[in-house]
Chain A
Amino acid sequence: MKTGFSVFLVAFVALGASWFGLVYAPLHQLGIEKQTAILQSGDTWPPQRTGDATLGLDVYREYGCAACHTRQVRQTGVANQLELISLGQHQAADFKDFLKSLMVVPELNSFSNTLCGPLAQWDGRLPVTLYFGPDDTVIAALVEKLKPLGIKTDARVVATGADISRGWGLRQSVAADYLYDQPVELGSLRAGPDLTAIGAREPDLNWQLQHLYAPRSVVADSSMPAFRFLFEVRPISGRPAPEALTLKAEFAPPAGMEVVPTPEARRLAVYLLSLKTGAPLYEAPYTPATAAK
């Protein structure tokens, strides 16, 4: 075989290139992921999980929660938003006229429809969005004109997309979010809602446990199966146990009985509570809502 060496060389380069591109490069980029700094704050993301929450991931995996729930928020766009917070001593009607008079400024001229159009029906209620779009020069130009007049505005960066409109998160999921997930339970089917920020949406431990025991006791039209085998229904001996669930009469056990979560149920609930809204990161920036206050 005269060409043996060339065949080896070509095969080596081809396999080596794909190994480099598909194994080494991703590992080098994401395999060494550490906690990252939260924008404009001294804290880091993601927060470390407690022991129970870490064990809860195994329960989540064992009962196949990822078959019906995803843990990934998608984002389709990003926008700059300028909100009018307060008018100072000025009147709403005067402000509309003033805004119209500003349109001679070259930076604002091309935005006159975007800026003045929506304000035509404005009833003077605050806060109101002055601008929502990709441009930030228009915001800088507006703020420069409004600030000396004592008119307070708030410029924000907002992530947009269907998942974000549904309230499942404030930004898209990025690799850093899954730092403490082993394995990562991304999920691919949304028979139920996305759980990326379930701990922020429903921060009550009792709610999470009620929902596992009897989903329809807290979400009227839930299609989730009840995970009753994670709970023990037992007769009350002496005083009711402190961890017993408080349930609506419809779902409560017969008199003299109580529903107590097993350690597995507690771990799963604690894990769900540990899933918080993604903090603003460099790779997924947004202005947190507290900035408006």
Chain B
Amino acid sequence: MNDESKSTRPAPDQEPQVTRSTAPMWIIVATLALLFFGGLYLDSHSGWFNDRVYAPYDSAEKLEAFQPKSGAGAAAQGKRIYEAVCGICHGNDGAGKPGQAPPLAGSEWVLAKGVNRLAHIPLEGVSGTLTVEGKEWNLNMAAMGAALSDADLAAVLAYVRTSWGNQAGEVSADDVKKVRDAIGGHPQAVTGDQLKSIPE
């Protein structure tokens, strides 16, 4: 035994003592930082604990991106909403009701090139005279589509434009959104002449 080791040992007759010593601050900070970023990593790769996000989707955005956008399903949805909202007056066959609602099958308003003009009708309603297929109608239609979501109204318009022999283009939710934004917060029932001034 040398002198050095002797000096660090407690004397044999001394009781061992518990001493306090703190862990270096940087270890504590580094551990907490690691835990924090580990937690963030886990969360961000498991959809932030969203109960509707299952693997292989790792975020709500990714799940949203894979929602089917069109197809027969959208047509079925359009048919269902049409029959609940529009069919009462316009008829489930799109033939309309004499004196009350003009036909949609073969209507030049429905078969227009774009849906800009058409979308104003369910979003704002119609009042006054409107000529459909050469026949004049005196109408008073409420804004039946204003309460529907963009996607739902687009599905309805697409259904109307492609059913009962109608063969016009498809409608996207963006088309409807554009019209809704253009109308803003002040929908006002349009007349036939006003409608004609709106681009198709």
Contacts and interface: CB of A to CB of B under 8 A. Distances in A.
Contacts of B71: 40, 154-156, 287, 291
B interface, by DSSP: helix, strand, loop or mixed?
A: loop
Contacts of A174: 54
Contact of B67 (A25, A75, A285, A291): A285
B41 interface: no
Contacts, number: 67
B73 A76 contact: no
A293 interface: yes
A156 B73 CA distance: 11
A42 B67 contact: no
Given A25-B49, A285-B66, A41 B73 contact: yes
A175 interface: yes
Contact of B77 (A41, A136, A154, A282): A41
B137 interface: no
Contacts of A77: 56
Contacts of B80: 41-42
A138 to B, nearest CB: 13
Contact of B73 (A75, A288, A293): A288
Interface in A6-58: 25, 29-30, 39-42
A174 B52 CA distance: 9
Given A136-B65, A285-B66, A30 B52 contact: no
B67 A39 contact: yes
A156 B55 CA distance: 20
Contacts of B51: 29-30, 175
Contacts of B63: 282-283, 285
A155 B70 CA distance: 8
Contacts of B70: 155
Contacts of A291: 68, 71-73
Nearest to B51: A29
Contacts of A287: 68, 71, 73
A284 B56 CA distance: 10
Nearest to A154: B71
Tier of interface size on chain A: 20 to 34
A290 B68 CA distance: 13
B32 interface: no
Contacts of B68: 39-40, 156-157, 280, 285-287, 291
Tier of interface size on chain B: 20 to 34
B132 to A, nearest CB: 29
A78 B73 contact: no
A40 B77 contact: yes
Given A30-B51, A282-B67, A285-B63, A76 B74 contact: no
Nearest to B74: A40
A270 B120 CA distance: 51
Interface in A266-290: 280, 282-288, 290
A286 to B, nearest CB: 7
Interface in B52-92: 52-57, 63, 65-74, 76-77, 80
A172 interface: yes
Given A40-B77, A154-B71, A283 B53 contact: yes
A41 B155 CA distance: 11
A157 B66 contact: yes
Nearest to A80: B66
B98 to A, nearest CB: 30
Nearest to A136: B65
A290 B53 contact: no
A168 to B, nearest CB: 17
A14 B74 CA distance: 49
Interface of B: 49, 51-57, 63, 65-74, 76-77, 80
20 contacts: A40-B76, A41-B73, A42-B76, A77-B56, A78-B56, A78-B57, A78-B66, A154-B71, A155-B70, A157-B67, A175-B51, A280-B73, A282-B67, A283-B52, A284-B54, A285-B68, A287-B68, A287-B71, A288-B72, A291-B73
Given A157-B67, A284-B54, A287-B68, 10 more contacts: A25-B49, A40-B74, A41-B77, A75-B55, A76-B56, A282-B63, A285-B63, A285-B67, A286-B68, A290-B72
